[in-house]
Structure 1
Amino acid sequence: MLEVKDIVKQYAKHLALDHVSFTIKKGSIFGLLGPNGAGKTSLIRIINQITAPDHGEILFNGEALSEKHISRIGYLPEERGLYKKMLIGEQMLYLAQLKGLSKADATERIKHWFEKMEMETWWNKRVEDLSKGMQQKVQFVATVIHQPELIILDEPFTGFDPVNVDVIKNEIIDLNKKGATIIFSTHRMESVEELCDSIVLINKSKKILDGKVSEIKNAYRKHQYLIKYSNKGIQLKNPEGYELFQVLDTQEYEEGNKATIELLNGHHINDALAHLINQVQLQELIEIIPSIHDIFVKQVKEN
């Protein structure tokens, strides 16, 4: 769907993007991640053709990104982009027609979305009379009203309570199932794990990580396990003469002990279990797999 090739963007003495490249597959939900000031917004502006790169190119379905692709993209900015004094119904009609819809088609789709999002009574309200969450709902509908192939969501859950976060999350999933490709930029790492197929991580203008979420998490596994057992006060020990694992931490809890171990020398967890079942009464075994949040923090600190 989208190929970002060797993009460079400089503002005076500030290098915003430094030879950034990655690919977004058609029909995927793609996480665009990075700390504040990393270069994400600069990249989003280039994809939306608000600004142009100083070097490199972006391909949209194999074609060089151009003005004709604007109507096929929907963009929800992090900051509010609505006219505060304008009636919401009139504003939605105006924005939909800017994206190429006829007035009749725009009216029909707005009514559909207003009913779906429980906004039927908002037609004659003004944006300034709405809460932040309600304004964000309006912006979301304006973003998807023209059924874009590519949807760019920059912090889409800003201002929402947990109930409306779930509403928007479900709509994102539904739009993706219907064929839309989605770029999802956020600091909510739990949402990234839940929604995204693949991610790219940008820090200090450079790409430092990209790939499928599952493959990235697998690559950062440390073969660490949380083991719970009922024998209070017993420390897990290696068999004499072998180093199967190292114990990183042991704590007592209501039902016994819990310990974190890390396998050593390429051993499998079955090797450790074969020894441990003769040492303690096992209750639970969970592999500790790093979250995207953990990987994000680690990579940003290291870079």
Structure 2
Amino acid sequence: MAEQTHLVIDQVKKSYRTKEVLKGISFDCKPGQITGLIGKNGSGKTTLFHSILHFLDYEGKITLNGQVFSSADYNIVGYLPEERSLMPKLTVLEQVRYLASLKGMSNSDIKAALPAWMEKLQVVGKMSDKIKSLSKGNQQKIQMIATMIHQPQILILDEPFSGLDPVNVDLMKDIILDQAKRGATVIFSDHNMDNVERLCDKVVMINHGQLVLNGTIQEIRDSYPKEYLYLKKAGLNREQVASLPGCESFVQRHDGVWAIKLTDEKYGPEIFDLLSHGEYIQTFSQEAPTLDQIFKMEAAK
């Protein structure tokens, strides 16, 4: 396989008896690119991951650099499953050595690389510690190390931040960004749209087994009307906000900014003219919905 791998999913379908889980999903993931796969529970994200890994049969085509995935390609893949699967009675070294050896790494290379990875992920523990003696967060870091230690060209991460505190989430984000910088093709799922917005070059959303979003975050946001207005002006009260043209709903944030949902984006300029009259307006920003708002809108359909 080439050192960098282009993953293409083409019209992938999967059914379990009479239930159609994936309904012709198509998108691609390029080397050095981070793709966020989003969707509510049961939308088909894990089924798609398992299809990419050929853990199950499917209709359609999935290729790596134009070639159909084969058993030989497992060595270039790092997969972090949603259900963590470490063996508690093994030591850290034994656990990582077992999983990394399945990817073709030698014992000497594993033993040499592991300390640096543990330092990079700030694991609290030693290579000789048993998995069961580590905290849940540190166990998750060990599984992440086992996923990445062989420097895979494709990283598939199912809910990688689940159960981590904010400090370790940021640490894990940095590690994932480093993997993309070295040219890995990264695809991960998450329910936290803030993580997706901060990390991803592109976003794919599945709803009811169908692809509903596919593009960069800016492309996706720009495809929606700019019906959200963020406004701050001295003396502006609730009654005045409620009476603004096209005001559908509103809330005042903790920073004093009024977040207003308009019935139509066309009311933005009219509101600006109405409120300004040459006076200073601290905040006036008319925007498309955030990724979090888009996710909720699409998931409700």
Do 2:228 and 2:289's aligned partners in 1 also have CA atoms closer than 8 Å? no
Which of 193, 198, 216 is 1:194 aligned to?
198
Partner of 2:281: 282
Partner of 1:157: 161
Partner of 1:122: 126
DSSP 3-state at the match of 2:41: coil
**Amino acid in the other structure paired with 1:93:** R
Partner of 2:3: none
- Alignment coverage as a number of residue pairs: 295
Q: Report the identity percentage.
A: 37
Partner of 1:8: 13
The yes-or-no answer on 1:178 pairing with 2:182 is yes
TM-score, reference length from structure 1 = 0.87
1:123-162 C-alpha deviation (Å, 9 max, x unpaired): 1222222222111000000000000011011111122111
**Deviation larger for 120-129 or 214-223:** 120-129
Which of 84, 91, 114 is 2:88 aligned to?
84
**Amino acid in the other structure paired with 2:46:** T
DSSP 3-state at the match of 2:84: coil
Do 1:228 and 1:258's aligned partners in 2 also have CA atoms closer than 8 Å? yes
The yes-or-no answer on 1:32 pairing with 2:4 is no
DSSP 3-state at the match of 1:200: strand
Which of 47, 50, 54 is 2:55 aligned to?
50
Cα distance change of structure 1 residues 70 and 236 upon mapping to structure 2, 3 Å threshold: closer
DSSP 3-state at the match of 1:183: strand
Do 1:230 and 1:255's aligned partners in 2 also have CA atoms closer than 8 Å? no
Do 1:30 and 1:199's aligned partners in 2 also have CA atoms closer than 8 Å? yes
The yes-or-no answer on 1:105 pairing with 2:109 is yes
Unmatched runs of 5 consecutive residues or more in structure 2:
1-5
Do 1:97 and 1:103's aligned partners in 2 also have CA atoms closer than 8 Å? yes
TM-score, reference length from structure 2 = 0.87
Q: Which has the larger radius of gyration?
A: 1
Partner of 2:24: 19
**Amino acid in the other structure paired with 2:212:** I
1:210-257 C-alpha deviation (Å, 9 max, x unpaired): 11111101112324322222234583799xxxxx95334577899999
Partners of 2:151 and 2:117 lie apart in 1 by 12
Cα distance change of structure 1 residues 228 and 249 upon mapping to structure 2, 3 Å threshold: farther
Cα RMSD after superposing both structures: 2.9
Unmatched runs of 5 consecutive residues or more in structure 1:
239-243
Cα distance change of structure 1 residues 260 and 104 upon mapping to structure 2, 3 Å threshold: same
Do 1:153 and 1:184's aligned partners in 2 also have CA atoms closer than 8 Å? yes
**Amino acid in the other structure paired with 2:16:** Y
Partners of 1:255 and 1:23 lie apart in 2 by 40
